[in-house]
């Protein structure tokens, strides 16, 4: 069955590259109209061009997705050019590798601001559109590091753990509204962010049950399902897309 999103407006943050780009492209294939919010304006424009070249509808919005004024401006432009927001994918984030005792207060605050406060602010700003429509999808990209832990990523894991808790709390609060809140913790996914990390990708891949790294398209497929009509009875859930790296209920 074709999963048509009936032209609903989707905001995907951090969609200038990697997982965000793949999610934006997949939702566009499923007929959503896409607003790409990214601090990297060139990357956002490239994603929008790729979607339009494939026959989809997309706009690129250069915005710091952790800044309240920028979020309000991005949402206003999105509503003006595309319409009320029905789908939100909170994907923008940073993932520094720093030893715990060497992590400065400023670095910790920056990670929390981008990875947790940003999704909090964006969700709060766009949720009224969904409540009014009695239909909405909020999909938060968390991290498998919350499930397994990750050395040298104390700030990152803390921020993503907070996002997990936020997702569950809002899923309960708005369960009867027609708006669902779910999360995807990517496993080991081949992205520019991963390539820039100190991880030996090929060696680590051999330790995974499927013996391969994931692709951004793997995450996009899970997001497309959660955004679809078929997922209307799923909320507060974790769709672990990780090639068998972690099997659990959290």
The whole-number pLDDT of residue 1 equals 42
For 90-99, 105-114, 239-248, which range has the lowest pLDDT when averaged over its residues?
A: 239-248
156 catalytic per annotation: yes
Interatomic CA distance for residues 152 and 250, integer angstroms: 21
Q: pLDDT tens for residues 102-157?
A: 999 999 999 999 999 999 999 999 999 999 999 999 999 999 999 999 999 999 99
Helix axes 118-133, 68-81, angle to 10 degrees: 30
Q: Tell me whether residue 76 is in a domain.
A: yes
In sequence order, the β-bridge partners of residue 37 are 13, 61
Q: Which domain holds residue 43?
A: 9-231
How far CA 89 is from CA of 20, 56, 59, 94, 186, in Å, comes to: 8, 18, 15, 15, 14
Interatomic CA distance for residues 194 and 174, integer angstroms: 34
Q: Tell me whether residue 105 is in a domain.
A: yes
The whole-number pLDDT of residue 178 equals 98
Select which of 156, 225, 233, 246 is catalytic. 156
Q: Indicate if the pLDDT at residue 162 is higher than 90.
A: yes
Q: Tell me whether residue 2 is in a domain.
A: no
Q: Tell me whether residue 237 is in a domain.
A: no
Average pLDDT for 8-22: 97
Domain total of the chain: 1
Q: Indicate if the pLDDT at residue 88 is higher than 50.
A: yes
Interatomic CA distance for residues 35 and 78, integer angstroms: 6
The whole-number pLDDT of residue 249 equals 56
Q: Tell me whether residue 246 is in a domain.
A: no
Q: Tell me whether residue 242 is in a domain.
A: no
In sequence order, the β-bridge partners of residue 35 are 11, 59
Indicate which CATH number applies to the domain containing 157: 3.40.50.720
Interatomic CA distance for residues 227 and 30, integer angstroms: 10
Q: pLDDT tens for residues 185-243?
A: 997 787 777 667 767 777 877 878 888 888 999 999 999 999 999 999 999 999 998 88
């Amino acid at each position: 069955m074709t999963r048509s999103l009936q032209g609903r407006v989707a905001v995907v943050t951090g969609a200038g590259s990697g997982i965000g780009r793949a999610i934006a492209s997949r939702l566009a294939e499923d007929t959503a109209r896409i607003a790409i919010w990214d601090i990297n304006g060139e990357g956002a424009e490239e994603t929008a061009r790729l979607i339009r070249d494939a026959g989809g509808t997309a706009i690129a919005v250069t915005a710091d997705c952790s800044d309240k004024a920028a979020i309000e401006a991005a949402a206003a432009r999105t509503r003006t050019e595309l319409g009320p927001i029905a789908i939100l994918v909170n994907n923008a984030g940073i993932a520094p590798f720093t030893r715990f005792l060497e992590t400065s207060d400023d670095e910790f605050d920056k990670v929390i601001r981008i990875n947790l406060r940003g999704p909090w602010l964006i969700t709060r700003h766009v949720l009224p559109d969904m409540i009014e429509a009695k239909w909405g999808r909020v999909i938060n990209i968390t991290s498998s590091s919350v499930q397994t832990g990750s050395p040298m990523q104390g700030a990152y894991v803390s921020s993503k753990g907070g996002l997990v808790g936020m997702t569950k709390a809002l899923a309960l609060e708005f369960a009867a509204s027609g708006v669902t809140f779910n999360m995807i913790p990517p496993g080991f996914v081949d992205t520019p962010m991963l390539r820039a990390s100190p991880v030996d990708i090929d060696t680590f891949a051999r330790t995974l049950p499927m013996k391969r790294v994931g692709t951004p398209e793997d995450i996009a497929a899970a997001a497309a399902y959660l955004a679809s009509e078929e997922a209307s009875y799923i909320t507060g859930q974790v769709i672990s897309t990780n090639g068998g790296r972690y099997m659990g209920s959290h």
